[in-house]
Amino acid sequence: MDNGQEYCEPSQRMENASSRAFTNRDRTTNAPDVRISVEDWGGFPSSSNSVPQENGAYYSSDAGGRRSSAGRPASSVIEAADRLRGEYARLQQTIHENQEAQSLCTMVTATIPFVFVFVLKMVFDNFFSILRIVIALGGFLAVDSRVQELFTAGHSASSIRITAVIIFLVLFYFTSGICSHDDEFNMRNVLLLKYAGVVYHGFFFTVYVLTLSDTFIKMVVSGTKLIVSLSGISMSMKRKINQLLEYLSQTYRCVVPVPQWLNYFIGKELSNFALYANGLLFTLYGIIKARELWGLFLTTFECASRIVRPTRHGSFPTADEVDQQGMCSVCHGEFSSPIKLVCSHIFCSACIERWLECENTCPNCRAVVEKKDNSWKDGATSKGIRFC
């Protein structure tokens, strides 16, 4: 068959498709489902062939035999929506058929308004305490984000540094005032590991004191990291100091709650049985706390040892090995104090040290060079609150 018979003109192909549609209309009473695939309107052979499927859709098959459908994303979304509607309908039917589930839903629906009313009452009664916590947390998060920007920006502009310092001073002034000036407790006693309150207070007061004191300590740590970021030492040393400051602060923050919970457990005049029971509970708390402190102490000691003793990441290569590799694959320049890793790749000592401050693998082959802790080196401070 020649090309003129095999590839028809577009108008002739449209007429043939229309005649097939009318034939289908005569055969069934339903409206015909006609899909016309015109691959090429110029009468030339197309690079892909249309293959009809059982559901009437046409898929285009390329030279490699792979099939694709232009309408597949839309149909998948519709199918997912239909499945969700079906699952929701089955869930409703299950609830209607199960009387216990229906009773539970009715009880929850009837209880939610009362819970909302009691929550509003608690917010109104403790509005100023909640406001203090929100302002203190907001100030700390703002300072922490500024410190991280200084470390991620590298050699940041002087305007960014001045802005970060001003923001810290203003927020620290307001946060310290909010955390310190309270008639019911003394922040200085908390920082000196003493009981904060004048008289015995309950559980929620203890949580309130620990929230404010922990936020204040983290604000001071962020300010110290800000000073480190503005210093003239190398970036590698700055990152190590940041990590050490974070682990020291976490160790100190782990000790701060102990006097407050000690007073909560055994600070009130109780009967002999209650005193013994609370003493036993506090002993259990002390054992758990001692185990946590020991882990933090080991981590802090290891971090400090890495600052005192510089870590060697490899060996010194020979002149022939340096000439054979040519240039450093990190900075794409000539080698400066070259270091050969265990995988035999050679880099500048400054380049590989800066790389290994963030990664634990070789930049070329991804072989593990050393497994070490790289957390908290970017200037970030822990966002969590130490309640215990």
**186 and 257 part of one domain:** yes
- Whether 249 has a pLDDT exceeding 60, the answer reads yes
Residues 108 and 238 in one domain: no
- The residues with which 346 forms a beta bridge, in sequence order, are 340
Whether residue 177 is found in the same domain as residue 113 = no
Residues 6+ apart with CB under 8 A from 345: 325, 329, 362, 363, 364, 365
pLDDT of residue 366: 83
Indicate whether 141 and 165 sit together in one domain: yes
DSSP-based three-state secondary structure for 313? coil
Strand-pair partners of 97: none
Domain count, the chain: 3
Residue 154 and residue 221 in one domain = yes
pLDDT for the residue numbered 75: 75
Q: Are residues 103 and 31 in the same domain?
A: no
Are residue 242 and residue 284 in the same domain, yes or no? Answer: yes
* End residue of a domain, out of 125, 149, 175: 125
* Token pair in block for residue 124: 């109104």
The stretch 94-107 carries a mean pLDDT of 75
Indicate whether 205 and 270 sit together in one domain: yes
User: Is 210 inside a domain boundary?
Assistant: yes
Share in percent of the chain as helix, strand, coil (round to 5): 60, 5, 35
> What sign does the CA torsion over 195, 196, 198, 202 have?
negative
Q: For residue 300, name the pLDDT band (cuts at 50, 70, 90).
A: very high
Question: Are residues 26 and 98 both part of a single domain?
Answer: no
308 falls within a domain: no
Is 249 domain-assigned? yes
Q: How far apart are CA 388 and CA 381, in angstroms?
A: 18
Q: Cα(49)–Cα(312) distance, rounded to whole angstroms?
A: 62
> Domain end: 235, 255, 288, which one?
288
Identify the pLDDT of residue 112.
87
Asked if residue 248 belongs to a domain, the reply is yes
56 domain residue, yes or no: yes
DSSP H stretches of helix in 309-383: 319-325, 349-356
Residue 144, domain member (yes or no): yes
Is there a single domain that holds both residue 175 and residue 274?
A: yes
Looking at the structure, tell me whether residues 118 and 197 fall in a common domain: no
CA distance 168 to 140: 9
Domain that holds residue 15: 3-62
Q: Are residues 144 and 232 in the same domain?
A: yes
| Mean pLDDT, the chain, whole residue set | 76
The pTM for the full model equals 0.66
Is 244 part of a structural domain of the chain? yes
CA contacts within 13 A on the Cβ side of 341: 23
218 in Cβ contact with 245 (< 8 Å): no
Integer angstrom CA distances of residue 339 from 4, 7, 294, 312, 321: 71, 67, 36, 9, 11
- 323, part of any domain: no
